[in-house]
Structure 1
Amino acid sequence: MDILKLLSRSRKKDNKVSSGTGNNLPSAGTSENPQLFHDPIPASRGQKRKRNAGETEKNETTSEVLDFFAPPATKVKIKNTIEPASALQLPKNTQDVATLLEDEECRQILRSHRLKATLLTSSKLPEKKIKKSNKSKKDKPKKSKLGNVRNKELHPQPLTAFNTLRTTYGISKRLGENLAAQGYKLPTEVQMGSLPLLLQSETALSKSPEELSVSSSKIDLLAVAPTGSGKTLAFLIPVINSIIQRRRTSTEKGLHELEAVVVAPTKELAAQIVNEAKKLSLGTGVKVVEMRKCMRVLATNTEEIHAEDCEEESGGEDEQSRLTGANKASEQSSVKTNILVATPGLLLSAISKGKLATVRTLVLDEADVLLDELFRDQTCGIWESCINPDLRVTLWSATMGSNIETLAASIIESRWNKLGLEPSSLVRLIVGLKDSAIPNITHRLVYAATEPGKLLALRQLLHPTSSSEEASQSLRPPFLVFTQTIPRAKALFSELLYDIPAEAGGSTRIAVLHSELSDPARALIMTRFRNGEIWILITTDILSRGVDFRGINGVVNYDVPNSGAAYIHRVGRTGRAGRSGGVAVTFYTKDDIPYIKSIAQIIAASEKQAGKPASESSMQKWLLDSLPTPSKEVKKKLKKYGVEARRGGLGEAKEGVEAKKGKGRMQISSKSGYERKLENNRKGAIKGSQRRAQLAEGDSGGDGEDGVTAEEGEFEGLDD
């Protein structure tokens, strides 16, 4: 064999390796470590330095290195006595009290996982009168984001493994078995910090003497954690465990009272929460129900919650069938449940005539949007209807503005003042950098100049032409495409309907989901997308919050998000549960340049959290400085209406000549305006001839009427 052929063969690149088959994709499998942050702790922290310790270690190292021919018996092996958390096993005697970590060790673990817990008390600081001449920065009282509030940092016991919940915090045995069956071993950061506080706060704060003043039975939690960090599991475990423990001491074992209410902004998120809660409550006797239209929920033996909105979803039925369906729904028996999951509008309409007296836990998932202007009145109405003095409130979201924190703190304080009871303690838990995107995905900000440029860029993602080296970083289906409005989502769907070849499934691989669809249609699309039958799902912000897609390879922001928080939630649909390899692509045009600075800053902060050096960052400082900074008024209008050029006919261009000319909206099409005009003229002429033929057959008018009808048909075709 020629040795030169062997050498030349080894120098060639292996096409199989470089073809991208071994790419790191979020849909490739399950991440072994769902934690996002694990900063190393210096070994010398908390230890005193000894004199001449460095010289002794240096001599020992030198002697060990120089002794090349030493026998194996002379080498000393150091055995690590500390076992990892994943190797710990549940003891047979569940009544044994687990050893708690020391205060300094708790601080180090919390600091390593970037966890910060703060006690927000409502006691006001005494204001001192200071003369104008003696004013200085040192004499001014420090104010937090919640106003004149005294904040106190807490260091609770962190949860190192799920198998310690049984021994340390006394959760139900069946609940622990369900957690093990679902494969939960290592908790995420938000679970590590919130579960001890919600299960047994007195145990979580037992090692900190200065924190013993916290009321253990009355703690409300406000948690801010990145998307995909396991917030749903963090609030479901304490809720289910408290119901199980309470039913053990109850005399009536078969009684199901409504004890917990979970409020979610969308139906998709509510259905997902119910699905996860049913997995955890399997075999425990705890019932979980999602509230729907025409449903009767039995809160107690005498009180009933009834959703009176009984409109049928399918539009093809007549009035008689609708009345029949409504009568059948009203004749159905009431549903008994312990946990009720609902959207705010439907739940408020159901409890408009009553109160939720038995509810002991209120969970607000995506609390920032629930307390925003859109859902604020409905959420506050539900909150006020919970009159139980033992009510515990938990608020969860990936983004939480200071105004939302202030509103939540004021509602909690005013509620306790009305009841005349001792106020509860509000604890704020922050994971990582507040209001930032997850650091384990790749962000791309692509300039497309115009609307046709965005469509061409999206088609390049569908049909990548990059080299094999760049293929590992390209976006592959399945992925989500977000648009600003429902009409734009429909238009983009019709434009891309035939882009996927028939060999790969054709038009069945692409779908559109928005709020105008019926509930069964939305549920069917979600099921098909999760099963992998749909590769590209075009949607609006209805799927941007809370919905968990574990197999998503990326997210495409076809239209720039309305705010920085909307961007964080959109791109959070990929890279779930610690998975890396997700790609977030954002297209922007000339009309978007005044609004993208907040998004660019979020991308820069995310890359900094991921440890990316400033020289390799995609958002350089000169680029951030060159982008214009929008004013507060512009941000408010953008959050409410979106970019003006893509509002879909809202505002001044809703009616009149400007709307007919297309001013005030941007059409999604690869055709030029002249081609679209010719096509519309042709369609209008066809409609006009069809109407003239119908009138001629019916002999309903003269030639003059026919002429008027033809002109009207042609004119309407032009404006179509």
Structure 2
Amino acid sequence: MDILKLLSRSTKQKIKASSGKDGGTSALPSAGTTTNPQLYHDTIPASRGKKRKHGEVQVADETPAQVEEEIDFFVSKLTNSIPKKKGLKNDAARVTTKISRDISKQTLLDEDDCRQILRSHRLKLTLLSANKKEKKPKKSKKASKKLEAKKDGSKPLYPQPLQTFGELESTYGIAGRMGDNLAQQGYKIPTEVQMGSLPLLLRPETALGASADFGQVADVNLLAVAPTGSGKTLAFLIPIVNAIVQRRRISEDKKIHELEAIVVAPTKELASQIVNEAKKLSIGTGVKVFGMRKGMRITARVDEEEGEDDGSSANEGGEEKEQQVVKQKGAEAPLARGDILVTTPGLLLNAISTPSPDEHTPLPNVKTLVLDEADVLLDPLFRDQTLGIWNSCTNPELRVTLWSATMGSNIESLALETLHSRKARLEIDTESTIIRLIVGLKDSAIPNITHRLTYAATEPGKLIALRQLLHPTAKTADSTESLRPPFLVFTQTIPRAIALHSELRYDIPAEAGGSSRIEVLHSDLSDSERSHVMSRFRNGETWVLITTDILSRGVDFRGINGVVNYDVPNSGASYIHRVGRTGRAGRDGGVAVTFYTKEDIPYVKNIANIIAASEKQAGKEPGEASVQKWLLDALPKPSKEQKKKLKMHGVEARRGGLEKVGEGKGKAQISTKSGYERKLENNRKGAILGSKRRKFAAEGEEKPELRAEDSEWDGIDE
């Protein structure tokens, strides 16, 4: 505890606000943009292996942000002396971008310099081999793990890091139009995952250099584990779009679009977001990106090839369409025409399904398969669908990349096993390898947000605590400001999300927008309703969005100030992805609040360990940590069976939503009514129902059936 803060409680000192552009407002994720989106900036030693002299001041290397600022400073002077041509738009921006690229052109670094830069950004790359099945090492000895790693062929790699986006065109040869699109969107400094993955995916022979002694490196399979909001979407879209642009340059007929890349995402919201980002990146390149829809076909039959030519000639006079209607046997079905397909696993598997359940229509032209949120796609819920899509891509040169913020060892083993089996099935001669990229500490939350664990004891206590966060003058126990909108509220089930929305919809005054400022989003809504809610939240019309885990993965809300876990997440990975909706792209000031009750105590330890690891990465002192050591020692450790039940069904007391569950009747209800009020209401309903039964019994008629609202009544309490 800060002794100065403790002694100055009685004084009327004004709390010093953090510095900002406006001079007074506190730093929030929604307040402007960050100059450096990188999460880790460890100091690189000036001279490695040499002793420092006494009294010598160590000077750290310049960060990419400083280099970029100097470049922009000199560019502004050079552009003033260049005459502008009339009739050309954004001419100064093009000259500025070209000069910055020339200045940022650098020679390749040696292995020692690469190692230091990668370690300063906490990047760890390892080469994994899929030619042999992995054996589980013994847990008793660490030496056995190292010996097993050598047998499997895994070894550390130190490729060239990407220090500025200008190097993409000068060193790795991306298209100039793509470089202009990146510059116009404001991308200057790459994040850690972009720094380590883009050189490998664009030009692996240049990035690896002397390390490329394991066979062909033309197609690198990558498994990337990076924190939420670190730019993984851009990291896998740039190589895909660039490869298609380079192919179209040498193509004779540039009007032909063949499906070359598939991006698989677990939810429709994430898939729609990836489509939008890919379209921004491919402006002016001729690359067509489309999202999968129900009923769409992406493969044509042999007897339909003649009809495709007739349909394509009809579009010569006007704008080109991304889809084309092909007539087949009196019916009309859309046939997709594009280069990049973004889809969910179920939609795509239905599109390529055949009468035989074990066989699917092959996709021989697909050269890149991206699994975004791979741990979910290879989880038992989506595993069969994802592997069916993977096996349908029969191109020998297929490159597979897997991306997520959390990746278990079982997912890594499954990916290696799938590569090995695919190689044997298709008789591929090249060696099946995966490069694993880990940013920071594996399976941990981002270090630039503040975590809070709040004990609410009961369900009404959680509702009171959430209302305190909604109140603009509320103060928490650590004397920080209340959680400012916009923010997300996560619940365990859909009925609980609906009930919480009905309780809070009138908490915001009518002068501030009233009930329109609070909305709910879940999978039971239609696609149009979900899109409408998402657009309102992104535009700032909605301040508080109550949702389930449908929005916990991948969806990018850059202006979210906080996340509230109204219900404890089902797993540690779910917590990491939920709180990752704030603090995106290195923005500081995000807050993650988690409420827990008596029923949640057996499951809180896993979340508390994640919070402790995140705060340790952020460099917080033990006294400033939100989770103290005594709390970690006091919390019970859940068993494997408890973890499995929690992951599959959530907390037992809240599984049914609004219904009464077991012995804890009424404890799972989200309501402001007290127990005494609910008892009186139940007694009144029971008296009415008993009167009806007696009336029908006296008249000799059959008893009326119980209504749904009366079926929960258990008689009049004493």
> What is the TM-score of this pair, normalised by structure 2?
0.81
Q: Which amino acid aligns with 2:671?
A: S
Q: Which amino acid aligns with 1:370?
A: L
- 1:90-489 equivalences in 2 (<5 Å): 90=98, 98-124=106-132, 140=144, 142=146, 149-206=152-209, 209-297=210-298, 331=332, 333-353=334-354, 354-421=361-428, 422-466=430-474, 473-489=481-497
Deviation digits for residues 650-694 of structure 1 (CA, Å, limit 9, x no counterpart) = 9xxx9xxx75987497111121233224335657888999999xx
Contact 1:221 1:394 (C-alpha < 8 Å) held by counterparts: yes
Contact 2:558 2:584 (C-alpha < 8 Å) held by counterparts: yes
What CA distance in whole angstroms lies between the structure 2 residues aligned with 1:190 and 1:674?
A: 55
Contact 1:90 1:164 (C-alpha < 8 Å) held by counterparts: no
Aligned position for 1:308: none
What CA distance in whole angstroms lies between the structure 1 residues aligned with 2:132 and 2:387?
A: 24
Per the alignment, do residues 396 and 300 of structure 1 end up closer, same or farther by CA in structure 2, a change over 3 Å counting?
farther
Aligned position for 2:608: 600
Structure 1 residue 666 corresponds to structure 2 residue 668:
yes
* SS of residue in 2 equivalent to 1:442: strand
Q: Which amino acid aligns with 1:264?
A: A
Deviation digits for residues 16-41 of structure 1 (CA, Å, limit 9, x no counterpart) = 96999511110011111000001011
* SS of residue in 2 equivalent to 1:296: coil
Decide which of 652, 656, 662 is 1:648's aligned counterpart.
656
What CA distance in whole angstroms lies between the structure 2 residues aligned with 1:86 and 1:20?
A: 22
What CA distance in whole angstroms lies between the structure 1 residues aligned with 2:705 and 2:642?
A: 46
**C-alpha displacement of 1:281:** 0.6
What CA distance in whole angstroms lies between the structure 2 residues aligned with 1:80 and 1:520?
A: 48
Q: Which amino acid aligns with 2:501?
A: F
Aligned position for 1:507: 515
Q: Which amino acid aligns with 1:460?
A: Q
* SS of residue in 1 equivalent to 2:438: strand
**C-alpha displacement of 1:297:** 3.2
What CA distance in whole angstroms lies between the structure 2 residues aligned with 1:485 and 1:507?
A: 22
What CA distance in whole angstroms lies between the structure 2 residues aligned with 1:457 and 1:482?
A: 14
Q: Which runs of 5+ in 2 are unaligned?
A: 1-10, 72-96, 306-326, 355-360
* SS of residue in 1 equivalent to 2:152: coil
Aligned position for 1:65: none
Q: Which amino acid aligns with 1:193?
A: G
**C-alpha displacement of 1:292:** 1.0
**C-alpha displacement of 1:81:** 14
**C-alpha displacement of 1:223:** 0.1
Q: Which amino acid aligns with 1:149?
A: D
Contact 1:225 1:398 (C-alpha < 8 Å) held by counterparts: yes
Q: Which amino acid aligns with 2:252?
A: T
Per the alignment, do residues 25 and 471 of structure 1 end up closer, same or farther by CA in structure 2, a change over 3 Å counting?
farther
Q: Which amino acid aligns with 1:285?
A: G
What CA distance in whole angstroms lies between the structure 1 residues aligned with 2:454 and 2:134?
A: 52
What CA distance in whole angstroms lies between the structure 2 residues aligned with 1:713 and 1:502?
A: 34
What CA distance in whole angstroms lies between the structure 1 residues aligned with 2:142 and 2:582?
A: 46
Contact 2:473 2:482 (C-alpha < 8 Å) held by counterparts: no
Deviation digits for residues 587-630 of structure 1 (CA, Å, limit 9, x no counterpart) = 00111111111100000000000010123212222221111111
What CA distance in whole angstroms lies between the structure 2 residues aligned with 1:250 and 1:643?
A: 57
Contact 2:127 2:155 (C-alpha < 8 Å) held by counterparts: yes
Contact 1:413 1:423 (C-alpha < 8 Å) held by counterparts: no
Q: Which amino acid aligns with 1:595?
A: Y
Higher alpha-carbon Rg: 1
Deviation digits for residues 325-357 of structure 1 (CA, Å, limit 9, x no counterpart) = x99x96364331110111111111111131111
* SS of residue in 1 equivalent to 2:276: helix
Contact 2:490 2:564 (C-alpha < 8 Å) held by counterparts: yes
**C-alpha displacement of 1:424:** 2.7
What CA distance in whole angstroms lies between the structure 2 residues aligned with 1:198 and 1:677?
A: 64
**C-alpha displacement of 1:163:** 1.0
Decide which of 509, 514, 525 is 1:517's aligned counterpart.
525
Contact 2:129 2:434 (C-alpha < 8 Å) held by counterparts: yes
* SS of residue in 1 equivalent to 2:146: coil
Contact 2:685 2:710 (C-alpha < 8 Å) held by counterparts: no
Per the alignment, do residues 637 and 138 of structure 1 end up closer, same or farther by CA in structure 2, a change over 3 Å counting?
closer
Contact 2:100 2:166 (C-alpha < 8 Å) held by counterparts: no
Decide which of 675, 678, 696 is 1:676's aligned counterpart.
678
What CA distance in whole angstroms lies between the structure 2 residues aligned with 1:376 and 1:588?
A: 32
The 10-residue stretch of structure 1 (636-645 or 570-579) with the greater mean CA deviation from structure 2: 636-645
What CA distance in whole angstroms lies between the structure 2 residues aligned with 1:713 and 1:619?
A: 44
Q: Which runs of 5+ in 1 are unaligned?
A: 1-10, 62-78, 128-135, 305-325, 696-700
Q: Which amino acid aligns with 2:178?
A: L
Contact 1:444 1:584 (C-alpha < 8 Å) held by counterparts: yes
What CA distance in whole angstroms lies between the structure 2 residues aligned with 1:468 and 1:98?
A: 50
Contact 1:687 1:717 (C-alpha < 8 Å) held by counterparts: no
Per the alignment, do residues 108 and 95 of structure 1 end up closer, same or farther by CA in structure 2, a change over 3 Å counting?
closer
Q: Which amino acid aligns with 1:282?
A: I
Structure 1 residue 704 corresponds to structure 2 residue 699:
yes
Per the alignment, do residues 689 and 23 of structure 1 end up closer, same or farther by CA in structure 2, a change over 3 Å counting?
farther
**C-alpha displacement of 1:212:** 3.3
State percent identity of aligned pairs: 66
Deviation digits for residues 534-561 of structure 1 (CA, Å, limit 9, x no counterpart) = 1111100000000000110000000000
Number of matched residues? 641
Decide which of 31, 34, 50 is 1:31's aligned counterpart.
34
Per the alignment, do residues 213 and 500 of structure 1 end up closer, same or farther by CA in structure 2, a change over 3 Å counting?
same
What CA distance in whole angstroms lies between the structure 2 residues aligned with 1:393 and 1:272?
A: 21
* SS of residue in 1 equivalent to 2:270: helix
Contact 1:646 1:664 (C-alpha < 8 Å) held by counterparts: no
* SS of residue in 1 equivalent to 2:648: helix
What CA distance in whole angstroms lies between the structure 2 residues aligned with 1:636 and 1:110?
A: 36
* SS of residue in 2 equivalent to 1:511: strand
Contact 1:449 1:589 (C-alpha < 8 Å) held by counterparts: yes
Contact 2:563 2:593 (C-alpha < 8 Å) held by counterparts: yes
Q: Which amino acid aligns with 1:667?
A: Q
Per the alignment, do residues 379 and 585 of structure 1 end up closer, same or farther by CA in structure 2, a change over 3 Å counting?
same
Contact 1:447 1:589 (C-alpha < 8 Å) held by counterparts: yes
Aligned position for 2:91: none
Aligned position for 1:40: 43
**C-alpha displacement of 1:449:** 0.6
Per the alignment, do residues 705 and 617 of structure 1 end up closer, same or farther by CA in structure 2, a change over 3 Å counting?
same
Over aligned residues, Cα RMSD in angstroms? 3.8
Q: Which amino acid aligns with 1:187?
A: P
Per the alignment, do residues 539 and 468 of structure 1 end up closer, same or farther by CA in structure 2, a change over 3 Å counting?
closer
Deviation digits for residues 293-319 of structure 1 (CA, Å, limit 9, x no counterpart) = 122335799889xxxxxxxxxxxxxxx
